[in-house]
């Protein structure tokens, strides 16, 4: 099953009373979940992340093949795709939780959309703020709550996908017990696009240290996802799919594929040491 998610978060006062709106539908437009969540006192940006996290938690209950997330928060989308750095300690914690939830999905994409294409999620966030409590309008497991209307879902707008599934070359074996990630240069930088020059290697293994010669722009893009993979629960490590990261530096166009080296954390494919 493919799922389409719309999320929105807001705070009245920034920080102030905050709410998160979540709309989940399948590829045919059938509703899976619609809810507003009251978050207490939060900032607008934290509320946006809380909306995404609540949506991803609900998605964990569904057998899903692909998830497409729509958000009108440019900050959220750009941070998830590695284009913006997460500087706030509070957002850093939420970012890491969102990354770990995304890593449990077979395939995922995040897209930025205009506010007018995210009306329903905004309505649900405001409904939660108005009532100062969680409001589940519809869930496929329990049916509708007629206390709120359910208009047609918003139209999506595209942004570059943040993840892909092309498998890299077979990774080398590494000592068991230390989680390791294989990074493959799927597309090299454009001509004169990388300030560090050409890559010495087209594939490398990362444990606790980055390889010498890696451009700081590429490292900035790779590190959030790399850390999320390395910090994944040991028994979930082997199930992480290959993820694609693009260097955000203008003119570079380098593309990297990240995949966990199976068994490098001392746990086998089936979760057995």
- List, in order of start, the domains of the chain with CATH numbers: 2-144 (3.30.420.10), 181-260 (no CATH)
Per-residue pLDDT at 260 exceeds 90? no
Mean pLDDT of the chain: 82
User: Is pLDDT of 153 > 60?
Assistant: no
The share of the chain scoring above pLDDT 70, in percent, equals 85
Q: Is the pLDDT of residue 181 over 80?
A: yes
Question: Which pLDDT score is estimated for 177?
Answer: 62
Q: Mean pLDDT across the stretch 241-268?
A: 78
Beta strands 108-112 and 66-71, pairing class: parallel
pLDDT at residue 76 tops 80: yes
Position 149 pLDDT exceeds 60: no
As a whole-number percent, the residues of the chain with pLDDT over 90 amount to: 42
pLDDT at 142 over 50: yes
Q: Are 58 and 52 in contact (CB under 8 A)?
A: no
- For residue 229, pLDDT over 70 is answered with yes
What is the structure's pLDDT at 268?
Answer: 52
Measure the CA–CA gap between 89 and 73, rounded to whole angstroms. Answer: 19
Alpha-carbon span 86 to 174, nearest angstrom:
31
Contact 119, 153 (CB under 8 A): no
Question: By mean pLDDT, which of 35-44, 83-92, 170-179, 210-219 is the weakest?
Answer: 170-179
Note the pLDDT of residue 270: 40
Residues 4-31: what's their mean pLDDT?
Answer: 96
| Buried-exposed string 142-171: b where 16+ CB fall within 10 A, e elsewhere | eeeeeebebeebbebeebeebbbeeebeeb
**Whether the predicted pLDDT of 42 surpasses 50:** yes
Whether residue 103 has pLDDT greater than 60: yes
Contact indicator for 122, 48 with CB cutoff of 8 Å? no
pLDDT at 161 over 80: no
pLDDT of 45 higher than 90: yes
**Per-residue model confidence as pLDDT tens digits over 212-226:** 778 888 887 788 788
**Which of 240, 219, 218 minimizes the C-alpha distance to 231?**
240
Distance (Å, rounded) from C-alpha 133 to C-alpha 17? 11
What average pLDDT does the segment 131-146 reach?
A: 87
pLDDT band at 120 (very low <50, low <70, confident <90, very high): very high
Indicate the range of 65-79, 220-234, 257-271 predicted with least confidence.
Answer: 257-271
The per-residue pLDDT for 187 is: 84
What pLDDT sits at residue 11?
Answer: 97
DSSP assignments along the chain, one per residue = -EEEEEEEEEESSSSEEEEEEEEEEETTS-EEEEEEEEEEEE-HHHHHHHHHHHHHHHHTTS--SEEEEEES-HHHHHHHTTSS----HHHHHHHHHHHHHHTTSSSEEEEE--GGG-HHHHHHHHHHHHHTS-EEEEETTTEE-TTS--PPPPPP-----S------SPPPP--TTS--EEEEEEEPPPTT--TT-S-S-SEEEESSSPPTT--HHHHHHHHHHHHHHHTS-GGGGGGPPPEEEE--STTT--EEEEEE-TTTTS--TTS--
Query: In the predicted model, is pLDDT for residue 162 greater than 60?
Result: no
Average pLDDT score over residue span 247-270: 75
Query: Do 67 and 25 contact (CB within 8 A), yes or no?
Result: no
């Amino acid at each position: 099953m493919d799922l389409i998610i719309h999320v929105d978060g807001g705070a009245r006062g920034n920080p102030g009373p905050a709410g998160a709106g979540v709309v989940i539908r399948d590829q045919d437009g059938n509703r899976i979940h619609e809810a507003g969540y009251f978050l207490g006192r939060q900032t607008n940006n934290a509320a946006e992340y809380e909306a995404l996290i609540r949506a991803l938690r609900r998605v964990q209950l569904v057998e899903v093949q692909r998830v497409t997330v729509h958000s009108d928060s440019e900050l959220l989308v750009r941070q998830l795709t590695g284009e913006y750095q997460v500087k706030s300690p509070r957002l850093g914690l939420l970012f890491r939780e969102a990354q770990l939830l995304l890593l449990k999905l077979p395939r995922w994409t995040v897209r930025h959309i205009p506010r007018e294409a995210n009306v329903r999620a905004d309505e649900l966030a405001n409904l939660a703020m108005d009532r100062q409590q969680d409001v589940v309008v519809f869930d496929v497991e329990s049916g509708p709550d007629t206390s709120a209307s359910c208009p047609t879902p918003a139209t999506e707008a595209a942004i570059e996908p943040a993840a892909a599934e092309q498998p890299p070359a077979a990774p080398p074996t590494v000592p068991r017990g230390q989680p390791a990630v294989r990074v493959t240069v799927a597309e090299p930088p454009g001509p004169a696009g990388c300030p560090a020059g050409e890559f010495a290697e087209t594939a490398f293994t990362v444990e606790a240290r980055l390889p010498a010669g890696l451009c700081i722009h590429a490292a900035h893009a790779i590190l959030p996802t790399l850390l999320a993979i390395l910090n994944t629960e040991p028994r979930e490590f082997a199930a992480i799919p290959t993820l694609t990261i693009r260097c955000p530096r203008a003119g570079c166009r380098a593309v990297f594929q990240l995949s966990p080296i199976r068994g490098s954390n001392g746990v086998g494919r089936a979760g057995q040491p």
